[in-house]
């Protein structure tokens, strides 16, 4: 995905909020957007998500995109379940898969009891869970998160962190703004600094996701990865998974898959694109894996 000479101003003769922005966003990248209040972060995110168009320049190669806006349109006259089902349809799911996915996501966020509640009656925290759930339904190639963690309680924030990691590892692009400087700290590929109308791509501080461009170091190649995944209801492990992982039960119906590190991305992709998709709880290099810590992090 590429931005070429992108500029945005609101209204003819209004000040340029962004000007001559050029960016390449490769597959499997995690980008944090930073900048002062009013610098144009949300403007950039709306352009990336395709819900706003540049005043000048062009954006090419945008994959199927999901967007979690800073403010959720809570006034829509429908229930949380109906809204998510509709959004699932927009993300390309069949009606049955969309309605099943809606309930599954509400359950994961501990909000299943609100499936039949009108959006306008949801608390701020539950609204935010619905906003985030719609972004995670389907398998977007680009996920744009504008302060998506704000208003979520600890367990849901951790769930969203895990989902971001899994999506990026499976090849999706994730671009996010968050007021917490520690959000996914050390995991972003780059920081996009929005300042004076420009967007400056800066190296992210101490990146440690283990997915650096270029061939992995010998030790990383040799070290197996552990993926803990939850099957969709009634599903069995798909045959011929990349890297022929070792599978063992991980509790709560989940499966722990151990695979040689070079196959972990392909394995994640296979699970996330299975029909219906598997839910990835965590991805950990085996030597670093502390099973208790992993399940704590996923299900605090
Ligand atoms: N729809 C709009 N119409 C007119 N001006 C707008 C619109 N949206 C944003 N702006 C202006 O563009 C500038 C950048 O806004 P934007 O929301 O992109 O900044 P931001 O960096 O996300 O801010 P914050 O950190 O406060 O969320 C601001 O001056 C804002 O007032």
* Residue 145 to residue 172: CA distance in whole angstroms: 13
* Residue 222 to residue 200: CA distance in whole angstroms: 36
pLDDT digits (tens, 9 = 90+) for 153-186: 999 999 999 999 999 999 999 999 999 999 998 8
Q: Which are the contacts of 279, defined by CB distance < 8 A and separation ≥ 6?
A: 104, 108, 229, 230, 232
Measured in Å, residue 140 CA sits from the centre of ligand 1 at 26
Is residue 222 within 8 A of residue 246, CB to CB? The reply is no
Using CB distances shorter than 6 Å, the residues near ligand 1 are: 10, 17, 35, 37-43
DSSP label at 291?
H
pTM of this structure = 0.73
For atom 28 of ligand 1, the residue with the nearest CA is 38
Helix, strand, coil % over all residues of the chain, rounded to 5:
30, 25, 40
**CB burial of residue 186 (10 Å; 0-12, 13-18, 19+):** exposed
Quote the ipTM score: 0.97
Residue 46, Cα to own-chain centre: how many angstroms?
16
* Residue 220 to residue 173: CA distance in whole angstroms: 23
pLDDT digits (tens, 9 = 90+) for 79-94: 999 999 999 998 888 9
**For residues 133 and 232, which has the higher predicted lDDT (pLDDT)?**
133
Of 54-68, 87-101, 197-211, the range with the highest mean pLDDT is 54-68
Atom of ligand 1 nearest to the CA of 39: 21
Measured in Å, residue 224 CA sits from the centre of ligand 1 at 45
Confidence of residue 206 (pLDDT cuts 50, 70, 90): low
**For residues 30 and 138, which has the higher predicted lDDT (pLDDT)?**
30
Please name which of 3, 204, 164, 1 lies closest in space to residue 68, comparing C-alpha atoms. Answer: 164
Please give the average per-residue pLDDT across 254-276, as a whole number: 84
């Amino acid at each position: 995905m590429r931005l070429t000479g992108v500029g945005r101003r609101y209204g003819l003769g209004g000040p340029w909020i962004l000007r001559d922005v050029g960016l390449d966003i490769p597959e499997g990248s995690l980008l944090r957007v930073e900048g002062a209040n009013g610098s144009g972060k949300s403007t950039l995110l709306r352009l990336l998500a395709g819900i706003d168009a540049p005043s000048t320049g062009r954006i090419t190669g945008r994959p199927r995109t999901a967007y979690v806006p800073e403010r959720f349109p809570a006034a829509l006259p429908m229930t949380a379940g109906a809204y998510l089902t509709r959004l699932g349809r927009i993300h390309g799911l069949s009606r049955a898969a969309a309605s099943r996915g809606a309930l599954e996501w509400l359950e994961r966020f501990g909000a299943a009891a609100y499936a039949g509640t009108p959006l306008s009656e949801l608390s701020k925290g539950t609204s935010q869970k619905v906003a985030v759930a719609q972004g995670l339904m389907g398998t977007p190639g680009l996920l744009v998160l504008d302060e998506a963690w704000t208003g979520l309680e600890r367990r849901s924030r951790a769930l969203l962190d895990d989902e971001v990691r899994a999506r990026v590892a499976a090849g999706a692009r994730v671009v996010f703004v968050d007021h917490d400087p520690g959000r996914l700290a050390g995991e972003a590929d780059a920081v996009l600094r929005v300042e004076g109308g420009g967007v400056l791509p800066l190296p992210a501080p101490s990146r440690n996701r283990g997915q650096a461009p270029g061939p992995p170091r010998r030790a990383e190649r040799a070290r197996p990865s552990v993926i803990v995944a939850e099957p969709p209801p009634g599903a069995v492990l798909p045959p011929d998974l990349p890297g022929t992982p070792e599978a063992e039960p991980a509790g709560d119906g989940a499966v722990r898959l151990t695979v040689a590190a070079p196959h972990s991305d392909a394995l994640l992709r296979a699970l996330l694109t299975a029909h219906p998709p598997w839910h990835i709880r965590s991805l950990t290099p085996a030597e670093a894996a502390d099973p208790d810590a992993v399940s704590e992090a996923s299900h605090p």
